[in-house]
A and B are shown apart, each in its own frame.
Chain A
């Protein structure tokens, strides 16, 4: 089940969308980079960690700011087109 529980500002949406894109990019880069390319590999590993932290920070900060409804076993999702936040729970 999916229902709207809030909305963020376009600026806030842009921030998480950038992190989302970066995380996807890093994950796909990880598929082709090997430890042979030591310098870039280390940069990638470091970036993956940092991006993951920033990603979680965004959700924590926003959840704190907006006090969205939550549910056990549920997760929040954002629609990048509308800036809406959804609570998704298993049927």
Chain B
């Protein structure tokens, strides 16, 4: 008998127990997506190998330091478009694997490499060789917004402004054959609300079983957007339930534990992992999360917490590691009847804050969250009634996947 373990299907690997280390390998991208939060993209800031190597050495030298003494690790590669730097990423991953093993580092037993790509050069030989070399440790997501109309409305080429849908789509079958359980991530902004219903169904039809979707945290919402979102989500709920898609597909907009009051003491954790993560840019600067690097901040100066030469400045990390939900939330948020699942981005909080702080929660998303809660209540009430009528509720509950309500 050959005992082969099955791989975890959990979409949040080692949630809370993994250190997330992000290399900002380039600030360049082939696309100029209209909603991209990266305000300082450019083709000059590419991470040199020497910086990447020094960063890895710094981190691995501190195996038992409290900032790095996590059971597991995820090495993220982010851009711009990370696969523009496939040679560097490949070299970095080889070095990490070799060093973890050479040093008998405990992360050798528990590491992942993670990338989110626009998918344009997914089928190139370099990318494919990289994937084959690292397949069992790789988490890889291609971003598609939905239908061609929606995708091409936002995800356009930098110079020609042509939509990128067809160039991405041709790589989707290969991606899904290599990562069949992986999902995609859709970002909702003002302009794409009317397309949510058809886009999610379109992604399901492509064979993508998990669609992670969230409204942007920035203050982009206009009058009536919440009503439109609610309508779109209810339409989506009808389609998912009426067509029985809920059995094989998940859309993170619908999350059972959403929209409940929260206890000020027992449910006081911070939402986001900023500060427990570490991002490194091409100059070797450290950040609590990529969103605190200058290229992703509208106004504030970058929140640099150290660099590869001088190391981490623990003082600059203290605000992040002492954050809790209530301290940064307004009284209205603390007392909100539908608070659970209402997310925030620490970087956006900082960027939008009146003072230099991470303790002022941005609330631009409030009315969109409430609209989502209404549609979500509709979804679960309708689904459970249907399952009860069919006598399948217990079976469904026993088998349902554990979906995280929101991703950053």
Q: Do A and B bind each other?
A: yes
B9 CB within 8 Å of chain A: yes
B1 CB within 8 Å of chain A: yes
Q: Could you tell me how many residues of chain A have their Cβ less than 8 Å away from some Cβ of chain B?
A: 31
Q: Which residues of A contact B3 (CB under 8 A)?
A: 56, 59, 75-78
Out of B6, B100, B136, which one reaches A24, CB within 8 Å?
Answer: B136
A20 and B1 alpha carbons, distance in the complex (Å):
17
Contact with A along B113-144 (1 / 0, CB 8 A): 00000000000000000000111110000000
Q: Is the CB of A44 within 8 A of B10?
A: no
Q: Closest residue of chain B to A22, judged by CB?
A: B109
A61 and B391 alpha carbons, distance in the complex (Å):
41
With known contacts A75-B3, A80-B8, A29–B109 Cβ distance under 8 A:
no
Out of B5, B7, B102, B137, which one reaches A28, CB within 8 Å?
Answer: B137
Q: Is the CB of A78 within 8 A of B97?
A: no
A25 CB within 8 Å of chain B: yes
A22, A29, A74, most chain B CB atoms within 10 A: A29
* Residues of chain A in range 65-81 having any CB-CB distance to chain B below 8 Å: 70, 74-81
With known contacts A31-B133, A32-B133, A81-B9, A25–B101 Cβ distance under 8 A:
yes
Q: Is the CB of A28 within 8 A of B98?
A: no
Secondary structure class of chain A's binding surface, majority of residues: helix
With known contacts A22-B109, A24-B136, A78-B6, A32–B1 Cβ distance under 8 A:
no
Q: Which residues of B contact A25 (CB under 8 A)?
A: 97, 100-101, 108-109, 111, 137
B110 CB within 8 Å of chain A: yes
A43 and B104 alpha carbons, distance in the complex (Å):
11
Q: Which residues of B contact A40 (CB under 8 A)?
A: 98, 101-102
* Residues of chain A in range 27-77 having any CB-CB distance to chain B below 8 Å: 27-29, 31-33, 40, 43-44, 47, 56, 59, 70, 74-77
Q: Is the CB of A80 within 8 A of B109?
A: no
Out of A29, A43, A74, A81, which one reaches B10, CB within 8 Å?
Answer: A81
Known: A29-B101, A32-B97. 14 other contacts (CB 8 A): A22-B109, A24-B137, A25-B97, A28-B97, A28-B134, A28-B135, A29-B97, A32-B94, A32-B133, A33-B98, A47-B101, A56-B3, A70-B1, A80-B10
A residues adjacent to B (C-beta < 8 A): 16-18, 20-22, 24-29, 31-33, 40, 43-44, 47, 56, 59, 70, 74-81, 86
B residues adjacent to A (C-beta < 8 A): 1-10, 94, 97-98, 100-102, 108-111, 133-137
